[in-house]
Chains A and B, each alone.
Chain A
Amino acid sequence: MARLSRLLAAPLIAIASVALLVMMGATVVDVIGRHLFGAPLQGVVEIVEISMVAATFLGIAAASFAGAHIVVDLVDTAMPRAAAAIAALASAASLLIFAALAWLTTRELLDAIDWGDTTVDLGIPHTAYWAFILAGFAFGTVAALLRLLSGAHR
């Protein structure tokens, strides 16, 4: 299970890392171009925004696989015996919430397909943004399921 988690997380982290580099690179190219050559990068805001969505939502899924979401540890020290049951409960709740988020995002994605809107400068379809968001929540659901099944609650 742990190996499967790492296997699934690796491509998500790779894509999100590239998106982060694109975010940084595009902004730097724009700043240098604007100040030194009087030539700003066309559509830099949109490049940053789509990279931002990709890095954030694929990153949310990756963080779920890695068990890196921010959690408060109070019960472990207070009641070690109940801790296992509580952890299972929390995993089940995570699974339900991620699944609900994926379902709600699917509705938004279908709406975006119907509308067929694109961004102004680069013509990026709005569906691309929602597709990254959906991918994040869908993989998040898978991660939560794996955690519930493996009993790896920490």
Chain B
Amino acid sequence: MSPALWGLSVLGILFVVVALRLPIALALMLAGFIGYAGLDGVDRALLVVGALPGEMIRGYSFSVVPLFVLMGTVAAASGMSRELYDAARSLARPNARGSLASATIGACAMFGAISGSSIATAATMTRVSVPQMRAAGYRDGFAAGTVAAGGTLGILIPPSVILVIYALLAEQSVPELFAAALIPGLLLTAFAILVVKVMARRPGVAPPLDTGARAPLKALASTWKLLTVFALSIGGIYLGWFSPTEGAAVGAFSTLALAVLTRTITLSGIATALREAVITSAALFFVFLGALMFARFIALTRLPTTLTEIVGAAGLPALTVILIIILAYILLGCILETVSMILITVPVFLPLVVSLGYDPVWFGILVVVVAEMGLITPPIGMNIFVIRSQLPEIALPTLFAGVAPYLLAHIALIAVLLALPGLTAILPRLLL
């Protein structure tokens, strides 16, 4: 059996063990080990697995992940989501169509920026905004679908944990990826608000509501904490005061300090935030370790090179190849969640994409957008499940139907990224 064929067989083994509910981290280690042992012997494979945790020992740059996660869990525990929702609400025109839904999208984008996690954003904003939308007579599916879609916005607006993981994996610069993601993130937010406006036209979906006169000053007052943290941590990175790792520490610290000073967090809230940050980032790193083992094996099969050669020989246009890759991600999104999907596929696809002349930073943004679609599509849309766990009375099909229109926003953004690949290079060029 050729190494490339063996590589594909092991990929098959991986999907079987993942489907059998083995934690993804362990599944990746197992499949990577079997694959490696098949090519290079059991003893060598055992050595490689054993040395794997050593990667974390020299892992200073990894600490950016738990610190950004901590910033998000502290923000959630200190009730920042409600403040942001109130801010977004006070910016809506009185009696505007679907104003509460637009406010939800805006608040999700802001909270998602600080929390860096799609699922955490959906979970937190559900508690804040769904009750208000339902009280105003919004349809259940529309209300919950808006939060599910809103959750996916923050992932592009820096700081973003997924982009940090992509940066570590693809050896790209974190500040460059953050800068590249901002414009697409804002575009996606705008597209999502457009979807709200169109959906709210339909009778009975979102009855108009008098939200009172616009109050931009109130909005500013409610967002000052977010703006301070953002200016300190992200601003500091681009002003050259500190590295992304240090920016994450400053961000987590200032979020915590502001929450304590404004008495919006309790001691048990701090403990919860720490616990969630520890568990979330440990689970992420465990998958990362597994993916590292799997990547070692994939490198041994030379599968990425073979793939590049095959595509090169076929002489397909670059755009066709990218479209095929996007399709592959959408299919994979049905069986894997975002981080695992990125960790498994980027080592395989990135060499091919770069050989086609695309910028790895641009590809990172594209991959994150495409992978995020998997969070709001069946069968395992994590955002949907997180919302459903809090609102069990809303049926799953209602939820999926409610979120479906927002997929158009993602598709529109993908089209823009394909048509204007230079879009992601604008801000990095200005800021760095």
The bracket for how many chain B residues form the interface is 35 or more
The residues of A that contact B24 with a CB separation of less than 8 Å are: 69-72
The residues of A that contact B286 with a CB separation of less than 8 Å are: 60, 63, 69
Cβ distance B372 to chain A, nearest Cβ, rounded Å: 16
Interface code B1-44, partner A: CB below 8 Å = 1, 0 otherwise?
Answer: 00000000000000001111111111001100000000000000
Cβ distance B165 to chain A, nearest Cβ, rounded Å: 13
Distance A98 CA – B281 CA, assembled complex (angstroms): 19
Cβ distance B158 to chain A, nearest Cβ, rounded Å: 18
Distance A133 CA – B285 CA, assembled complex (angstroms): 13
* B274 contacts A93, C-beta separation under 8 Å: no
Q: Which of A17, A31, A69 contacts B250 (CB 8 A)?
A: A31
Distance A62 CA – B278 CA, assembled complex (angstroms): 9
* A52 contacts B278, C-beta separation under 8 Å: no
The bracket for how many chain A residues form the interface is 35 or more
Distance A90 CA – B25 CA, assembled complex (angstroms): 12
Tell whether A59 pairs with B279 under 8 Å between CB atoms, given A52-B56, A75-B19, A89-B20.
Answer: yes
The residues of A that contact B281 with a CB separation of less than 8 Å are: 55-56, 59
Interface residues of B in 364-408 (CB under 8 A from A): 379-380
Interface code B319-335, partner A: CB below 8 Å = 1, 0 otherwise?
Answer: 00000000000000001
Q: Does A5 contact B (CB under 8 A)?
A: no
* A70 contacts B282, C-beta separation under 8 Å: no
Secondary structure class of chain B's binding surface, majority of residues: helix
Interface code B251-292, partner A: CB below 8 Å = 1, 0 otherwise?
Answer: 011000000000000000001001101111111011100000
The residues of B that contact A104 with a CB separation of less than 8 Å are: 46, 49-50
The residues of A that contact B29 with a CB separation of less than 8 Å are: 97, 101
Q: Does B176 contact A (CB under 8 A)?
A: no
Tell whether A73 pairs with B21 under 8 Å between CB atoms, given A20-B66, A52-B66, A108-B54.
Answer: yes
* A13 contacts B57, C-beta separation under 8 Å: no
* B63 contacts A52, C-beta separation under 8 Å: yes
Q: Does B70 contact A (CB under 8 A)?
A: yes
* A20 contacts B278, C-beta separation under 8 Å: yes
* B50 contacts A105, C-beta separation under 8 Å: yes
Interface code A21-60, partner B: CB below 8 Å = 1, 0 otherwise?
Answer: 1011101101100010000000001001101110111111
Tell whether A31 pairs with B26 under 8 Å between CB atoms, given A59-B281, A70-B340, A75-B19.
Answer: no
Q: Does B67 contact A (CB under 8 A)?
A: yes
Distance A24 CA – B65 CA, assembled complex (angstroms): 12
A65 nearest CB neighbor, chain B only: B279
Cβ distance A68 to chain B, nearest Cβ, rounded Å: 5
Cβ distance B272 to chain A, nearest Cβ, rounded Å: 10
* B21 contacts A57, C-beta separation under 8 Å: no
* A101 contacts B49, C-beta separation under 8 Å: yes
Q: Does B336 contact A (CB under 8 A)?
A: yes
* B62 contacts A52, C-beta separation under 8 Å: yes
The residues of A that contact B66 with a CB separation of less than 8 Å are: 20, 23, 52, 55-56
B275 nearest CB neighbor, chain A only: A13
Distance A20 CA – B66 CA, assembled complex (angstroms): 8
The residues of A that contact B339 with a CB separation of less than 8 Å are: 70
Q: Does B431 contact A (CB under 8 A)?
A: no
* B67 contacts A74, C-beta separation under 8 Å: no
Tell whether A31 pairs with B242 under 8 Å between CB atoms, given A13-B278, A17-B278, A104-B50.
Answer: yes
Q: Which of A49, A51, A59, A97 contacts B30 (CB 8 A)?
A: A97
* B59 contacts A53, C-beta separation under 8 Å: yes
8 contacts between A and B (CB under 8 A): A25-B253, A28-B253, A31-B246, A52-B59, A55-B282, A57-B282, A70-B283, A100-B49
Chain B contacts to A: CB under 8 angstroms: 17-26, 29-30, 46, 49-51, 53-54, 56-60, 62-63, 66-67, 70, 241-242, 245-246, 249-250, 252-253, 271, 274-275, 277-283, 285-287, 335-337, 339-340, 379-380
Nearest 8 pairs of A and B residues by beta carbon: A59-B282, A27-B249, A104-B50, A69-B23, A17-B274, A16-B278, A59-B278, A90-B21
